[in-house]
A and B are shown apart, each in its own frame.
Chain A
């Protein structure tokens, strides 16, 4: 059976885009890429899908704004740059989405949104209401008050948390590689993309720890743990290359080459 067929029926989709897909290797914003993303997501929304975008990039945009050439190491500086950059980032999204008559909303979350039940309920209700109103929520981590979070992995985990929070049908992680490879593609010519994953085994994790992106902080490890969280909640998860966001059209038709983590519906556990 081709498991990719199930993708055609997905209705509520969380799309996560990483810094590497939003910017050039020199750290400056890639407006072309963002514009395409806005186009694709607006079209999907109009086709009747509910779209939630989880974005990274605030620190990068903030650095650009202030003319810094290096990504800062100090936590307080990262947080300050995130506060500058998030304002710019949401403005840029607004601008591009507006061109397609699509209203967006900004929601900044901390990962403990899951741990605090009342806040969980509020965030969930707000997001669901926004979707009902045909608005695309754009989510990022609230870096200013976050502590350790900013250090770990480029919002992959946050995107999986959001997917479980709103009981999404699918999480699509747009990355700078085509998917999970059977070996490190930079080292071995025979490396092939693993198309379907039904279970995250120790071997798979081993494989993931070898491949990583140099630009984003996450690499493959955090993507695998995001996929694991999704599978646990019966949510399918895709990892694919986000260099050209219009790949999403192909992906959702089940056409394009990606790594698909296939959720077993019968093992679905209750929503927390």
Chain B
């Protein structure tokens, strides 16, 4: 049977401590939750922002940067940091990750979409979790500071995901969006996250419109309720 595929969208703001620095503790916890979800038999793809924030942290305030090119430079420095931190945290749970950088115009290049899909499938088959981010240094669109929902949407389309799960600011809270639904469910804690996704399973399998069902186009289109 086809495994459920989940795109987990992470905004770096949900992983920072009070001083605005990356919290190792929060990232470790996240890596545990994601690995555990993966271990329970799901395909997981993570879309994470954070390259610019970590780039700025790395360079401290040596350089004052507020222009597009400067941000792209910061992203090039910070992405290397970001993936390193992810790697360290996932290593704690013996989970291998991969780095995939995409530009959002990928959708206009069918061959690239196909290649990326093949890569995703191969990674998932090999039990590897791809950590995906926008390839900011070469991106031609405006760098969106911390809204990677559009990229999560693209990844969900390429991977035919069943769910997009969004980590919320409040510790332990997640928003689950099911393909074909505009209403998301907020869950509190990892157990509930897992239970909800498991309980949705049968609904998904029998949904005839699964193939054509879409995710909400923007984060503003999602209404949500407590699970």
Contact = CB atoms under 8 A, between A and B. Distances in A.
Interface of A: 62, 65-66, 75-77, 79-80, 83-84, 86-88, 90-91, 94, 103-109, 113, 118-119, 122-123, 125-126, 129-130, 133, 135, 137-138, 142, 144-147
B112 interface: yes
B76 A79 contact: no
B90 to A, nearest CB: 10
B160 interface: no
Interface of B: 55, 58-59, 62-63, 69-70, 72-73, 76-77, 79-81, 83-84, 86-87, 96-103, 106, 111-112, 115-116, 118-119, 121-123, 126, 128, 130-131, 135, 137-140
B139 A122 contact: yes
Binding site secondary structure of chain A:
helix
A147 B87 CA distance: 26
Contacts of A133: 59, 62-63, 73
B53 to A, nearest CB: 15
Nearest to A92: B84
Contacts of A76: 115, 118-119, 121-122
Contact of A103 (B59, B86, B101, B126): B59
A136 B116 CA distance: 28
Contact of A80 (B59, B62, B111, B123): B123
B142 to A, nearest CB: 11
B171 to A, nearest CB: 26
Nearest to B139: A122
B98 A107 contact: no
Contacts of B135: 108, 142
A133 B58 CA distance: 13
B69 A90 contact: no
A84 to B, nearest CB: 4
Contacts of A88: 87
Contacts of A105: 55, 73, 76-77, 80, 137
Contact of B73 (A65, A90, A118, A130): A130
Given A91-B84, A129-B70, A80 B126 contact: yes
Nearest to A84: B98
